[in-house]
């Protein structure tokens, strides 16, 4: 990054060393792009942009005055402070400079995607998400299918204000974090029009076996999986040979798809004949596993990865990585490997023959 922190920057201008500037999510996306991983393009309103926003709007002193002397056990006072701070932020105006920067980056993104007013996800990316011992992830807001400069600006303010949800305020008080030490960036990223989406672990999350990878998948956007409304299809893949060694195809009764009238996602019931269909192709399972191996190699540790198959893109270039973070359960443990260290693809083939496992299709 340049000597003077930018107010806004593209994801491809960020790396994992820029967490202080663009938060954990955006830094991770930039790192993936620079590692050659296919990620939906976008840009970040930086923590410098956030700081300038609250200073230039004249609300910084008001915010921290409302937070001063809040007690850990006074939930009502925390709720009142949160409501007032969020009102202040969401009612404040952007400076002309910052508004122009955000608008210009959004126009450039729309041109890059060859779509006027390209639909985007507007995601909070807090600087404390990846601090050791801290669990800030998920405390701030994400908005999907946002279109147009005015809506991007409005939802950027909502993300700024989500730094001060009652939950986030209480968490910082309980764990001794100074409110002034936590800043926020906002990622604005092209929406992947997901035919299917899910998560991938570059380890078996049930037992820590690092010779295996687990891919979960369902139709539509990932919301149905995250919310628990759908039990996803499950593919256990051998990391060396890329064979699917176990698969479970579930009944998937609902999916989240785009509502083109309102530019939001909506839950629909899947036709009965589609509910038991495998949600991704075998070739896509292999492609995902390859991407997972590349990401794990880049980071040097087991990873928890969100992905989507974009129905707007041709096969072969339609799988996108939406987020990647270190897997949190097994990375610091030393599980017993289920395969011998250094096992080759031939070792796997021979052991499969000896145990009667069917290879390939």
Share of the chain above pLDDT 70, in %: 87
Average pLDDT over residues 278-297: 96
pLDDT of residue 111 exceeding 70: yes
The confidence score (pLDDT) of residue 60 equals: 94
The confidence score (pLDDT) of residue 359 equals: 46
Q: What confidence tier does 138 reach under pLDDT thresholds 50, 70, 90?
A: very low
Contact 134, 175 (CB under 8 A): yes
Q: What is the CATH number of domain 194-355?
A: 3.30.470.20
Instruction: Name the percent of the chain in helix, strand, coil, to the closest 5.
Output: 40, 25, 40
Supply the mean pLDDT for the chain.
87
If you ran DSSP here, which 8-state letter would residue 361 be given?
A: -
One DSSP character per residue, 163-221 reads GG-HHHHHHHHHHT--GGG--EEEEEEEPP-EEEEEEEESS-TTT--TTEEEEEEEEBS
Interatomic CA distance for residues 198 and 308, integer angstroms: 7
pLDDT of residue 233 exceeding 90: yes
pLDDT tens digits along 142-181 = 888 899 999 999 999 999 999 999 999 999 999 888 888 8
The contacts of residue 268 (CB under 8 Å, 6+ apart) are: 220, 254, 255, 256, 257
Please, what is the Cα angle at 169 between 164 and 170, to 5 degrees? 150
pLDDT of residue 321 exceeding 70: yes
The contacts of residue 340 (CB under 8 Å, 6+ apart) are: 347
Which pTM value belongs to this model?
0.79
Q: What confidence tier does 29 reach under pLDDT thresholds 50, 70, 90?
A: very high
Containing 310, the helix (H) or strand (E) segment is strand 303-310
Q: What confidence tier does 258 reach under pLDDT thresholds 50, 70, 90?
A: confident
pLDDT of residue 254 exceeding 70: yes
Q: What confidence tier does 361 reach under pLDDT thresholds 50, 70, 90?
A: very low
Of 164, 213, 202, whose CA–CA distance to 304 is shortest?
A: 202
pLDDT of residue 263 exceeding 60: yes
The confidence score (pLDDT) of residue 134 equals: 47
Q: Where are the domains of the chain?
A: 8-190, 194-355
Both tokens of 182, joined, read 């936590």
Q: Which class for 64: exposed (0-12), middle (13-18), buried (19 or more C-beta within 10 A)? A: middle
Of 307, 138, 110, 281, whose CA–CA distance to 225 is shortest?
A: 307
Q: What is the CATH number of domain 8-190?
A: 3.30.1490.20
- 42 to each of 101, 122, 267, how far by Cα in Å? 14, 10, 26
Q: Which class for 142: exposed (0-12), middle (13-18), buried (19 or more C-beta within 10 A)? A: middle
pLDDT tens digits along 31-77 = 999 999 999 999 999 999 999 999 999 999 999 999 998 999 999 99
The confidence score (pLDDT) of residue 216 equals: 96
């Amino acid at each position: 990054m340049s000597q003077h922190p930018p107010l806004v920057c593209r994801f491809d201008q960020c790396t994992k060393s820029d967490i202080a500037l663009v938060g954990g999510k955006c830094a991770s996306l930039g790192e993936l792009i620079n590692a050659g991983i296919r990620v939906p393009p976008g840009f970040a309103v930086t923590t410098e942009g956030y700081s300038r926003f609250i200073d230039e709007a004249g609300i910084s002193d008001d915010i921290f005055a409302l937070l001063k002397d809040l007690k850990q056990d006074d939930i009502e006072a925390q709720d009142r402070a949160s409501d007032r701070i969020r009102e202040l932020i969401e009612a404040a105006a952007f400076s002309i400079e910052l508004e122009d920067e955000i608008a210009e980056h959004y126009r450039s993104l729309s041109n890059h995607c060859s779509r006027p007013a390209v639909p985007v996800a507007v995601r909070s990316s807090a600087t404390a998400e990846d601090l050791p011992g801290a669990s800030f992830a998920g405390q701030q807001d994400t908005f999907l299918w946002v279109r147009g400069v005015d809506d991007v600006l409005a939802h950027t303010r909502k993300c700024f204000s989500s730094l001060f949800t009652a939950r986030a305020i209480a968490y910082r008080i309980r764990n001794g974090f100074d409110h002034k030490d936590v800043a926020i960036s906002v990622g604005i990223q092209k929406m992947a029009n997901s035919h299917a989406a899910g998560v991938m672990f570059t380890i078996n999350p049930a037992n820590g076996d690092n010779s295996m990878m687990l891919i979960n998948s369902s139709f539509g956007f990932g919301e149905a999986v995250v919310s628990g409304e759908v039990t996803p299809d499950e593919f256990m893949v051998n990391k060396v040979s890329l064979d699917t060694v176990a698969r479970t195809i579930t009944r998937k009764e609902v999916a989240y798809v785009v509502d083109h009238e309102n530019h939001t996602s909506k839950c629909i019931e899947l036709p009965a004949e589609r509910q038991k269909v495998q949600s991704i192709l075998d070739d896509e399972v292999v492609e995902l596993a390859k991407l997972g191996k590349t990401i794990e190699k880049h980071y040097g540790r087991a990873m928890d990865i969100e992905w989507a198959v974009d129905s707007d893109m041709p096969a072969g270039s339609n799988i996108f990585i939406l987020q990647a973070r270190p897997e949190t359960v097994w990375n610091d443990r030393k599980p017993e490997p289920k395969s011998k260290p250094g096992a080759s693809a031939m070792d796997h083939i021979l052991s499969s023959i000896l145990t009667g496992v069917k290879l390939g299709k």
